[in-house]
Amino acid sequence: MNSRRDFLQKITGSAFGLSLLSTSSNGNILFEEGYQEPVLRVAIMGLGSYGTRVAEAMKDCKRAKLVGVISGTPSKVKDWQTKYSIPAKNCYNYENFDTIKNNPDIDAVYIITPNGLHREQCIRVAKAGKHVICEKPMAINAAEGQEMVDACKKANVKLLVGYRMHLEPKTLEIIQMRNEGAFGKILFFQGLCGFRIGDPNQWRLNKQLAGGGAMMDIGIYAVNGARYMVGEEPSYVTAQETKTDFAKFKEGVDETIQFQFGFPGGAVASCLSTYSMNNLDRFFLNGEKGFAEMQPSTGYGPIQGRTNKGELNHPHVTHQTVQMDEMAGMILNNKNPLVPMDGEEGLKDLKIIDAIYLAIKTGKKVDLKM
Ligand code: NAD
C-alpha cells in the first residue's frame, strides 16, 4: 500500500473513495475543490444529545446541509433556527411532519429519536416521499425493521442507517488488510462494548422506548463489528445474561449480555454488551497469521488501532461530518460504501439481536439464516 490515496481507491474502487482525499487542520475530511454536485438537504428529527452532535458536525459538511427540524419542543426549534439559520417553513412537529411531502426544499429526514419510535417515524417520512436516514438500532426488532425496509422500497426512497464506523479510516484499513490476507484465515473476534448508564428514568432504560437495554444501545456495535471485522455473517448465536441491579434494569431491559457467534468459515466471536462498566470499547481480531486491535474501537474518536505490523496512523476525522457527506453521495449519486449502510444492513443486526434474546430465553444455541 503506497499511500492513503491508493488505499482509499482500492477499498472503494470508485471516485467515492477519492472524495476522502485530504484532511483539514482540524482533522475533518475535505472534498475536492470546486465540488459541483448537488447538496443533500437534511431535516433532523429529534433535537436531543446525538441530534445536536450531528448538527454541529454538519457545519463542516461539503455535500450535506442541515436545512430543517422536526421537534416536539418549540423552544428548541427556536434555538436551532437561530443557530443553524433554519427558515420557519422548514420547521415541523411530530403531529404535522407528514406535510413535509409538500416541501421541495428538504431531501431527507434524519431520525434521531428513541429507538421505539423509529419504525412509525420512518414509515411516515417514506410516505411523505423523503429519503430516510435512521439512527441505530434501526428499530427494536427485525419485524419492525422489515416493515421499514418495505415502506421505503414501496415509496422509492433510500433508507440508510447511522453506522458511522463504516466510514472510519482505521476501521476501513483493517478491513482492507483482512481482505488482502494480512491476518491469514480469520478465526477469532472479540468485541467488548459498554458504559455505565446514569439516570434510571431515561428512555434508554424503558423497554417500550429502547426495545431492550445495553444490547440495543451499545451491544449493537459488537454485533455489527463482529460482522464487518470477520467479513462474514454469523451462522449461530449463543448468549447469557447477567443482572446485578434489578431495580434499574427491569424486565426486558438487559444490563449485561455475553454472546458468541459461529461463522461459516470457522471463526468464532466472543462479545460483551453492558451498561455497568465504563471505558469498555475494544475490538480484537485474530487470524492464522496476525491480529488487529482497536481500543477505543467505536467511540467518537480518536479511534486507536494497531496490527501485528504496527500502529495505524490515520488522522482523526469527525465521524458525523464524514457520514453525512458520504451519505449525500449514497443518496444523490447512488454510491456504495465498502461496508453497507442501508436498511438491509440494519435489518441483519436486528435479526441477530432477536436471536441473542431468544438464545437467552431458551438457553439454547440459535441458528441464523441471514
Ligand atoms: P436523547 O434522549 O438525547 O434525544 C432524544 C430526542 O428525542 C430528544 O430530543 C427528545 O425530546 C426526542 N423525543 C421525541 N419523542 C420522545 C419520546 N416519546 N420520549 C423521549 N424522547 C423523545 O437521545 P440520543 O442520545 O440523542 O439518542 C437518539 C437516537 O440516536 C437513539 O436511537 C440512539 O441509539 C442514537 N444514537 C446514536 C449514536 C451514534 O453514535 N450513532 C450516539 C448516540 C445516540
Q: Which strand (E) or helix (H) includes residue 51?
A: helix 49-58
3-state DSSP call for residue 331?
Answer: helix
Q: Which of 69, 111, 112 to mutate to test the pocket of ligand 1 (most atoms within 8 A of CB)?
A: 112
pLDDT at 37: 72
Does the structure show a pLDDT above 70 at 29?
A: no
Chain centroid to CA 298: how far? 10
DSSP β-ladder status, 22-23 and 29-30: antiparallel
Q: Please name the helix (run of DSSP H) or strand (run of DSSP E) that holds residue 109, with its range, or none.
A: strand 108-111
> May I ask the CATH class of domain 169-314+341-367?
alpha beta
Looking at residues 183-198, what average pLDDT do you find? 98
Instruction: Report pLDDT for 33.
Output: 52
- pLDDT, mean of residues 12-28: 38
* The ligand 1 atom nearest the CA atom of 113: 7
Domains of the chain, by residue range, sit at: 12-164, 169-314+341-367
Specify the CATH class of 12-164 in words. alpha beta
| pLDDT band per the 50, 70, 90 thresholds, residue 148 | very high
Catalytic residues: 136, 221
Question: Taking a C-beta distance cutoff of 8 angstroms, is the pair 145, 122 a contact?
Answer: no
Label the pairing between strands 108-111 and 40-45. parallel
Q: What is the pLDDT of residue 197?
A: 98
Q: Is 47 near ligand 1, meaning CB less than 6 Å away?
A: yes
* Residue 334 reports pLDDT greater than 90: yes
Which pLDDT score is estimated for 287?
Answer: 98
What is the length of the chain? Answer: 370
Please state the rounded mean pLDDT for residues 71-87: 98
Q: What is the pLDDT of residue 20?
A: 42
- The stretch 193-221 carries a mean pLDDT of 98
Distance in angstroms (rounded) separating the CA atoms of residues 65 and 42:
6
Q: Could you count the other beta carbons within 10 Å of the beta carbon of residue 74?
A: 10
First vs last C-alpha separation in the chain: 33
How far away, in angstroms, is 206 Cα from ligand 1 center? 13
Answer yes or no: is pLDDT of 310 > 70. yes
pTM: 0.93
Residue located via cell numbers 482525499: 21
Is residue 117 predicted with pLDDT exceeding 90? yes
